[in-house]
Amino acid sequence: MDHLTELYCHIDDFYQQFKPEFEAHLIANGAKRLRACQISVPEIMTILVLFHQLRYRQFKLFYYHHMLGMMTREFPKLPSYSRFIELVPRIIMPLCGYLQRMMGDCTGISYIDSTKLTVCHNKRIYRHKVFEGLAARGKSSLGWFYGFKLHAIINHKGELISVKVTAGNTDDRAPVKKMATPLFGKLFGDRGYISKALEVWLTNNSDTTLITKLRRNMKPKPLEPIDEALLNHRSLIETVFGELKNLCQIEHSRHRSVTGFITNLLSGLIAYCWFPDKPSIKNIIPHGQVAT
């Protein structure tokens, strides 16, 4: 319960600062202000993040069993499940802002990679209608899939620095420029990010050096011992993806709407940001120097 109180208070403090800008944005775009309801926006955000923290696999079961069954004292004005689902779309923008607040800072040692977000089995692609026109076929190291890609940059402490979602057929190098602009130091990636033009652009525009594994037909490229050691720890971001998928449940094939996919992904990423013990590289200090 102490953690629940901390989570709610942190989200509520953020929303009180975010609310005036949020409402001004709604008015500027011709939308109406959010109508008052019994449950507040911070409470909805807290429930969605709590779902991932408690590692339930189905939100409907979580809501009926945990929220309506055991949390009525903490949330006395909980609406019905169907009404709660109707209220979820209003917190997409606050979730985006809160995720940005929860992300870590660049330390000079960053890792970039992408992972697939499958939305249905390959045999059901032609019958799948929820993400028609949005999702696409892509290919990963495990084979073909249908869905999206989650591109992420993390620091050496396992904290998310930047994330972006694209269609499944997007080249891994396409979103790098926009994602890596605020970075500095060294950016490590796999062979999918090999590009001379991208290396030059990053060096000139973001003060970042891109270091990748080499293909077999490429000439050996000498690296500093520290850079080679850090490149060999590139599996760190794979571990982060594993926790996002296995513990935070950001990937499943039961989505019934685009809104559900977005809120599930955002709240799962936020739940990961709250993890007290993230995968990390020990004995490393900023700017790529080994601590003595």
User: Considering the chain, what percentage of its residues have pLDDT values greater than 90?
Assistant: 66
pTM: 0.91
Which residues are 147's β-sheet partners?
Answer: 118, 136
The pLDDT confidence band at residue 80, using thresholds 50, 70 and 90, is very high
Domain ranges in the chain are 2-101, 104-255
**Average pLDDT for 1-10:** 87
Q: What is the mean pLDDT of residues 64-83?
A: 92
> Locate tokens 């309801």: which residue?
37
Contact 177, 208 (CB under 8 A): no
Q: What share of the chain is helix, strand, coil (3-state, %, to 5)?
A: 45, 15, 35
Residue 260 CA: distances (Å) to CA of 90, 133, 253, 263: 12, 17, 11, 5
Mean pLDDT of the 26-43 span:
77
4 pLDDT more than 80: yes
